[in-house]
Structure 1
Amino acid sequence: MDAILNPWPWYISGPLLAIIMFILIYFGKTFGMSSNLSTLCAMAGAGKKTKFFDFDWKLDKWNLVVVLGAIMGGYIAHFLLSDPVSIDLNPKTSANLSLLGFQNAGAALLPAELFSWDAVFTAKGLAILVIGGFLVGFGTRYAGGCTSGHAITGLSNLQRPSLIAVIGFFIGGLAMIHLLFPLIFS
């Protein structure tokens, strides 16, 4: 059972991801989670109000299976394959998080200070969700795709815009964790 609880090594998961990408490229498909939101909006009739959503969503309905797979895979990974032990954080990271008010840093993968219902239904929690959601939605639309679409499909197809987007994602992530995160939680 312990072997099941450990993450798959790169030499198994990497080639599996490559095989999936070869299959998608062969069939002329692209992968990305944000495109599913566009498909759902088009299915709901948003194309009658906004030209962006005016497309034949039936051509992309196959990608909705990816959403279902992500939900089912997340459920299986969390409830059936997760080891409930604490995560191995660097002691310096734990100390820095403790200074920012995170109790028991590393005791859980998702800290209660961010991911509990009590934290969500605070002014700070709601602001983080609304502002963060807006920025993710705006960034996804502005970049022409999400992190998974650019980093997996775009880079696999050697697309320069995807390389630029992925570099931007990393710079944004570094700026968030080193500059904004301490301001939000200090």
Structure 2
Amino acid sequence: MSSSDIGTKLKQLRLNHHLTQLDLARELHVSRQTVSSWETNRNHPDVDTIQAIANFYQMSMTSLISKNEPSPVNNIIKFSAWSCILFCLVLERLTQVSTNKGLYWFDMLIVWIVVFLVIKGSIRRRLNWHTTLFNQIHLILFGTVVLIGGINNLFNMGFGLMITSVVVGLFSIINGIVLYFR
């Protein structure tokens, strides 16, 4: 990769994440001028700094320094757990016959996920936090609540919603644990 590509890519990544040079500099423990010199190709980050940048943007070093654009598969993987959970809950909510309390339980779970995703996005944009730990904890907490609700047949929700609760709960807990050890 040519040196001009590295500077351009670093600048584009920073702008895509709605960060100023100062924000990025603080995260990497360098000066704002250092970030500016990377982006204008006056200097280049060393290998350790490239690794820190890749970790900060949650991508591999290879995708950071390669000419090819990072594969969108990484983004799909990050959101697949919540998308799958939300899809299952909405599908079951619309297709299952149950008591009103059981349906309200599923409505509450769907709203919980939507509110969580809005808060997570807001935290990431406004505070420039990486939300990986927040996501892991929330997956495990959500999964535990849903699993307990399913096992105890909370709100006398019926067999279909009960099984869905157990499966979604286990799926959430397993995903949270896998994310933790990744």
TM-score normalised by the chain length of structure 1 = 0.28
Structure with more of its chain in helix, by fraction: 2
Per chain length, whose mean CA-contact separation is higher, i.e. which structure has more relative contact order (CA < 8 Å, sep 6+)? 1
TM-score normalised by the chain length of structure 2 = 0.29
